[in-house]
């Protein structure tokens, strides 16, 4: 029993906000014009992962081996893949320090002086905005690059990876959102156009976004947005909160307090019945062991049920339950306070029952 209470306390110590994949528009070289960015997001049926396919149409001003784009992506699932004109290319992490056979961070950034800010240690950094209140600075050694031979003219660069959602667990049901920072596009040599396509797998979910009204007029299986300039928010956010099933709705209506109250009334009536039955055959006894034992157990079981009711509701909600409820196990500290009040109440009730039975016996 004590082990359960301790585990319950530990399970609720985690932060209610869980960051997912952090990805952003590419960082552009001074030799490259980005004519168009196309973002295709394919969300799974549970809103638990999303396949990102981001394609850039670029125009290169120079010929030869070069680094046209840098990529910022953190905490993605599986691999981060890049194609140049439909041919896969090898992607590298920018080294923190120069090692034999590797490009130094400073040489890699020689063509990105307008796209990134310089740090004191000669590394570069860029700020990415994830929502209205959250922005984060990323440094050169957290970025990725590829170094192809480019001919002068137009090329297509495609990036693919699978993203995890950000999760807000403040409520009973987890709120999911996928984010994508457009902040690096502010420093592109030029900004052409932006197309965003979101496709849902399975049943249509009524998600919300900060992108405005889609071209389809409402949320559909596939939605599209088109921009001729950088969106004002500088980030994209797709948010979805699942609807609870009918059983979960009933339990959420009662809540742990209501469920514990119903359970407490049941135990009280059961205890009262045992007290009455005991007194029928033990009218002369001064003390009732049923009162004593029940007064010890009933408050404890009510508090224990209150703690466990959170797990019951989470179980009924299913995979979308947040399971973040604070230090609910600490409610057990009220046991020494509740016990004497309940004991006195049941002692008075038992005394009243005893008096009535003795009075009836005299008649």
pTM of the model: 0.79
Q: What pLDDT, on a 0 to 100 scale, did the predictor assign at position 339?
A: 94
Tokens of 338: 């509740």
Nearest to 321 by CA among 163, 202, 167, 207: 167
| Residues 233-281: tens digit of each pLDDT | 888 999 999 999 999 999 999 999 999 999 999 999 999 999 999 988 8
| 3-class secondary structure, 235 | strand
Confidence of residue 285 (pLDDT cuts 50, 70, 90): confident
Q: What is the mean pLDDT of the chain?
A: 85
Domains of the chain (ranges, CATH numbers): 18-240 (2.60.40), 245-362 (no CATH)
| Residues 87-143: tens digit of each pLDDT | 999 998 877 554 444 444 555 666 675 666 655 545 666 777 777 777 777 766 778
Judged on CB neighbours under 10 Å (0-12, 13-18, 19+), 22 is buried
What are the DSSP calls for 327-339, one per residue? SGGGGGGGHHHHH
Nearest to 275 by CA among 346, 343, 345, 339: 346
Longest dimension (CA), the chain: 115
CA distance 253 to 91: 51
| 3-class secondary structure, 303 | helix
CA distance 189 to 304: 63
Judged on CB neighbours under 10 Å (0-12, 13-18, 19+), 338 is middle
CA distances from 263 to 33, 77, 259, 305, 343 (A): 68, 44, 6, 8, 18
CA distance 98 to 106: 9
Contact 71, 158 (CB under 8 A): no
CA distance 7 to 109: 49
Whether the pLDDT of residue 33 is over 70: the answer is yes
């Amino acid at each position: 029993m004590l082990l359960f209470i301790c585990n319950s306390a530990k399970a609720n110590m985690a932060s209610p906000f869980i960051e997912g994949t952090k990805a952003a528009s590419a960082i552009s070289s001074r030799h490259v014009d980005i004519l168009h960015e196309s973002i295709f997001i394919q969300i799974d049926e549970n809103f638990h992962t999303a396949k990102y396919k981001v394609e850039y149409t670029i125009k290169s001003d120079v010929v030869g081996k070069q680094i046209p784009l840098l990529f910022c992506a953190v905490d993605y699932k599986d691999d981060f893949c890049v194609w140049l004109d439909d041919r896969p290319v090898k992607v590298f992490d920018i080294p923190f320090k120069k090692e034999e056979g590797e490009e130094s961070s400073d040489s890699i950034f020689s063509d990105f002086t307008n796209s990134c800010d310089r740090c004191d240690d000669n590394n570069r950094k860029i700020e990415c905005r994830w929502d209205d209140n959250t922005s984060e600075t990323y440094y050169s050694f957290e970025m990725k690059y590829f170094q192809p031979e480019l001919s002068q003219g137009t090329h297509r660069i495609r990036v693919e990876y699978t993203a995890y959602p950000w999760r807000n667990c403040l409520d009973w049901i987890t709120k999911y959102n996928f984010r994508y920072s457009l902040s690096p596009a502010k420093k592109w040599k030029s900004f052409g156009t932006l197309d965003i396509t979101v496709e849902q797998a399975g049943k249509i979910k009524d998600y919300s976004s900060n992108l405005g009204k889609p071209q389809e007029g409402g949320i559909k299986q596939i939605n599209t947005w088109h921009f001729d300039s950088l969106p004002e928010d500088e980030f994209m956010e797709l948010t979805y909160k699942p609807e609870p099933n009918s059983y979960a709705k009933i339990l959420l209506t009662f809540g742990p307090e209501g469920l514990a109250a119903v359970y407490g009334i049941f135990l009280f009536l059961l205890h009262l019945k045992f007290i009455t039955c005991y007194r029928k055959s033990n009218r002369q006894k001064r003390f009732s062991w049923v009162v004593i034992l029940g007064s010890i157990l009933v408050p404890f079981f009510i508090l224990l049920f209150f703690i466990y009711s959170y797990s019951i509701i989470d179980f009924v909600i299913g995979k979308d339950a947040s399971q973040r409820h604070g230090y609910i196990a600490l409610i057990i500290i009220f046991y020494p306070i509740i016990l004497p009040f309940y004991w006195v109440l049941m002692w008075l009730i038992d005394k009243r029952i005893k008096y009535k039975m003795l009075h009836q016996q005299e008649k």
